[in-house]
Amino acid sequence: MNALLKDKTALVTGGARRVGAAICRRLHAAGANVVVHCNRSRHDAQTLVHELNGLRPGSAVLVQADLLEPGTPLELLQRTVSAYGGLDVLVNNASSFYSTPLGQIDANAWDDLMGTNLKAPLFLSQAAAPELRRTQGCIVNIIDIHAERPLADHMVYTAAKGGLLALTRSLALELGPEVRVNGVSPGAILWPDGPEWQDEVERQRILERSVLKRVGEPDDIAGAVEFLATAPYVTGQIIAVDGGRSIVL
């Protein structure tokens, strides 16, 4: 348990799988009630919620919604407050990720990548701001080291995450002093599902261009989220959790 999170409420978008699930487990283990948001991964989300409630009955709920629908931000906030009476920690984790080589970018890819990585965090943070001000809460955005160091063939994703980095600092300015806003920028934590990331030679090349020479774990990100959720004098900051990759890129 973490005394600063005990009986607090955290909403984690994209919380069903991978890094999102690790964040949910970490905040729950620290004592928080967790609202697990998902869009298409309902089965995984239900399994996670069942697991968490088995450890502490009534401590987790599932909310399924499309973050790109206009009414979703207010719906997520209302359902969170209805479940637990408030909101203390908002983690904007949900993200689309795939390549968009120049010359092949279309409007659908733009809307999806910008929508999940930038638009949704903005409008959800805006909807949650009054409640977070009331609870003296915080926002943690999951960004990417490539927000500052572009990833080849991922122009739209890189631009969206760059926007999220700027949004994080802007929100810290706008919502202070009541609400703290920070970000975590992962490096090589879990390999993406796409076929271009399954080549072992390419994976080793990436890891060699880091200081620690190894892939990270989802709980490395979750630990940084817990720290930022409980660091009362930290706001407007972006922590790279990347094994030192960003300093040698």
Hey, which residues are catalytic here? 157
On whether the CB atoms of residues 208 and 174 are closer than 8 A, the answer is no
Terminal CA-to-CA distance of the chain, rounded, Å? 37
Beta bridge partners of 71: none
**CA distance linking residue 180 with residue 232, whole number of Å:** 8
Distances in whole angstroms, Cα of residue 226 to Cα of each of 70, 202, 233? 29, 32, 14
User: Given the structure tokens 């487990």, which residue do they identify?
Assistant: 25
On whether the CB atoms of residues 167 and 122 are closer than 8 A, the answer is yes
In sequence order, the 6+-apart residues with CB closer than 8 A to the CB of 165 are: 143, 147, 148, 183, 185, 238
On whether the CB atoms of residues 67 and 44 are closer than 8 A, the answer is no
On whether the CB atoms of residues 102 and 150 are closer than 8 A, the answer is no
**CA distance linking residue 129 with residue 112, whole number of Å:** 24
**CA distance linking residue 233 with residue 180, whole number of Å:** 8
